[in-house]
A and B are shown apart, each in its own frame.
Chain A
Amino acid sequence: MDQAFHIADEEIGGVPVVSASGEIDVATAPPLRDRLQALTTSGRSTVVVDLLRVTFLDSTALGVLVGALKRCRESGGDLPLVITEPRILKVFEITGLTGVFPIHGSVEEAVGSVS
């Protein structure tokens, strides 16, 4: 599996979807933070974050997602995540964040939950 970090975004059903792939760590989290910050400060209160192709994620990445979630909720929106990889889900479980983020099994499901 490709470990290189990559980020892309599109709009599905009027909802912005940010898709990340590869390893999100202390070196690669800043571009994700910047992208989410740009969306949430430009009036988008809900953003779907697709982590289906993420192979590694540390506490720096969790901090970025928690910060974005806070901004979304402050403006009445949400930050649904898309995760199916057990290793990535485990990181959310052991940090107690599965009860904080809405987590979905597909982008379509996540978009449907907020459309």
Chain B
Amino acid sequence: MPEKPIPENDPVVSKSLAPHYVISMVILMATFFWAMWDEDFGQRPWKAFQHEWKDRYSTFLKNARSQSGDAQKEVEASPDYQKLKQDYDSASQNAAPRIQELREKLRDLGARILAVQDGTNHFTDRRAYVTAATYAIETETSSSSKQRMQRNLEEYKAKPSTVEMPDGKLQTFKNFGELEEAYNELKNERTQFSAELGELIKPVNEKKELMDSYLTDHMVNLTPSQLTNLQNGVEVWTPKIRQINVNEHNADIVREDSSQIVDRCESCHMGIREPVKLTAAAMSLPGKKPDEYARAFTSHPEPDLLKIHDPDKFGCTPCHQGNGRATTSAEKAHGNYEHWLWPIFTPQNYEAGCQVCHSADMVVVTNDVGWVVSEGKDLFRQRGCVGCHRFEGYDKEPEDLLSVAQQIKQLDQEKKDNFKQAGDLMKQADKAESNEEANRLNDRAVALKVTNSKLDLRIVQLDRSTKSLLEDMKKVAPNLKDIRLKLNKNWIPVWLKKPSDFRATTKMPNFRLNDDQIKAISAFIWQSALKDSLPKHKPGNATHGKELFESRGCLACHSIGEGDQLQGGTFAANLSRVGEKANYDYLVRWVHNARERTRPYCPLEKKDIGPEDYKKKGLPYVFDLEHSRCPNDGHELQVQNMTVMPSLRLSPQDAEDVASYLITLKKQEPPSYADASFMDDPNLKDEGKKWVRHFGCAGCHEISGLEDEGRIGTELTIEGSKPIERLDFALFTEIAQRGGIEPITDPDDLVRLPEGPAKQPWYDQKGFFEHKLAEPNIWDKGKDKPETEKLRMPNLHLTKEQIRALTTFLLGSQENPLPPNYQYRPLDYRRDIQEGWWVVKKYNCMGCHQLIPGQKTSLMAMARYKDAQEQLPPKLLTEGARVDPEWLQRFLKNPSLSTTDTNRNGVRSYLQVRMPTFSFSENELGKLVRFFQALSRQPFPYIPEEVPVLTAKETEMARSLFSSTAAPCLKCHATGDPAHDRFATAPNFLQARGRLKPDWMERWMLDPQAIAPGTSMPSGLFKRDNGHWVFSGPTPASFQGYDKDHTKLLVDYILQLTPEEQRRVGAAMGRSSAASGSSSGAKSSGNGGRGAPE
């Protein structure tokens, strides 16, 4: 082929690709560097955190060390420390010479033992030979060689040994026996000296320990040496991922997003678990405001929580959420990006993390005061959310009833099977070939019969718990079957329009009903209500009623007054305008016993049983907890109103007085309400029923014909686990994602938003719950829907704080991501505590009683008790340790402790405020008694200890203490003498026996302030003397030589106190009843023991 000529413009020759290459090269290199940088830093922002941490923390530690050094010097300079140091110095000096001597001796002995023991032909060597030879003889079978070997051994043993002792002298031992003896002697000597040395050193060491522990006990922070250790640790730190693997060995974790929880949070949050308290300010650069590093390096604010939930076991995300594995950016790690379903809880909702595991705990921690999540739990229950939304654990009596019924059925079947089998066995036995076989079969049949008896008894138990459950079933709202008896008819439509207009704090939410709906609904409930009549009552004394209302404790649950004037509890209704709506005769019945029903309801027949049903069977029309069987079918009836309101055991007269007072509470006169006779229109009834059903009214109210209605809302047990896509933001999805525009425009609803109108994007669970709770129909906005398809959730007119609490509660209501053995499902005493809180909260025990130190009761806040703390209901901080559970059960059942004289307090007769009768079911009684025992960690059942009988002399001594001027017990404690008891502020001693636990009594006498802070009973009555508790005041001569605890003596005396003895002592104390009797006119009788000068 001929060569072609080179073309003129040959690109190979004329064009250079160098610039392209250069550019590519530059890009390539830049990418390379970028990749390198990104690899080292970009993808590892935590490295920067760790570098920063090293600097700041070591600076902090240096600083802390110098301060701590000063503090240490200060502690060391204190006289107490100096004394300890002196003790130590003198002890160690005194012991020093002998210690020195002993050490010397031991060293010498050690050398001698070594000399005897080591070396050829010395003790160890020879003993080994002897042992080996002995073994050979023992295992030898031929007797002749055995004898020969024996002889050899004897010969060997007889040989002498020469040992060079440490001092250089040679010592000869005649034979092995002598050598062994010398060796053992030396060893014994050494043991003896060592023991002596130990004895000598021990007290010195103890003193040193005392000194050192004084130092650590009195240092607020760590000691300088501890800080130095920390600092050394920081200095050698090289950046690395810090990771916690939850459940390393058991990877079957429920949550679908991860098979295992791996938390790397501490790669940035380095200070979380440091043993010193790190604040953002302390971790900031000098003179600068806390930056993101400073905020990340702070210690965990609740180290006590970490103690219970060791991060090494639980990790971080089970409580905080977020993406614990992510390390590439703070946003990703916190889960604040669209591909992570459960972002980290915000500080406002931190406690949502508790709910994840503790949804069954109504009180999360033992010092639960002001916890947001607990408020959420309470609100969910009190506001009636459970009426529409199922939530596991809440309002579970109906479910329990079902399961009990199921169990009964099962047991019945089992019984039948057993019966049949027993019959078969007996038949076989009759035909058995041998007596043995027949007996065996008969025995089995007998066993089955016994089993059936057990099953029978079990069924009886279950029947009783059915009864209990029927009693325990409560409704959040009143029984609407009674409205014809109870209400001002014309008031009903006004109320339905917007309940919060009539009563701002009501639980009844606003349903946004239109006028037609209101008409129909009121007509339906009016026409379906019971038409019985009530006994007429004469008007009572309203002034006395007011006094009773304010003093008997009604305000622990109910409130009165509006706005700034509001006082009392928030648990039950505000009664400021009750006079506008209520009928007097009904109020009297309600105040007297709110549980009294108009007609009993039969759940089986699904109807209200009336006198006609009883008459048919020739039975008297009596129904109460003792007469709770249906006359028609013998089944358990609902004989109580399903309210938690207890009976205050008022006399009928007092009930009339209170009702007369309540009926005066009004802003406008009842007749001024517009006529609502349309409610009698039968045509409206069906329409009304439709709407009542539509809005789920029967979730909270008892309504005729709708007793078995189900809940209309979504179950919320694991609502917090719902992925965001399944929460319907309707037309606001995009707005929520973008942020910036707040869809709620109603000013009333706008102020309910915990974080104010939305500025940031709020497309997350928190945003959804908060908006939904602030304005429940917000997702209907802009939509064109027929009335029946609109969102039904009513507006609960919640405050900001309440919405925050409920949101926290809902966010934490999740499927538990932790394996079952990590979850809190106690089976021991803690379960009793768990169950007890449900009952305690259900009946608002904490409206009157303090159960947690620092917890405020509704009554405490009232002006009435400001100067009369002793008139408050008792604090129950150690109730389980205080009272005999048997007694407690009796007391809870009937707090008057009397079957005849019930209009009083059984224990604290001097209190105006009354412990009501709650008519607890057996089930709840048991739970409460067990709860109090468990709360105080008391054994259950309780077996009382024997109280020793005092001798005459001891009784005399105890009496002198009991009536001493220095401890005048009967001055404050009630005695049963009315003249004296006007001034009493403490219970009668005669009740101690059978009620109080002796150990508790002793502790109480020693330091009552430590058991019931603020109690009238003073501390300092006894002092510690010679290892015993002795009376602080003067004691008579008879106490000379008495070396037992005076407290114990007094306790035994009180437990043996008889009414006669008490009367004698009281009289001897020189209180003249005449004197107090004459002055009774000066004080108002209602003012009793308070007596604060006015």
A and B found bound together: no
List the interface of chain A (C-beta within 8 A of B): none
List the interface of chain B (C-beta within 8 A of A): none
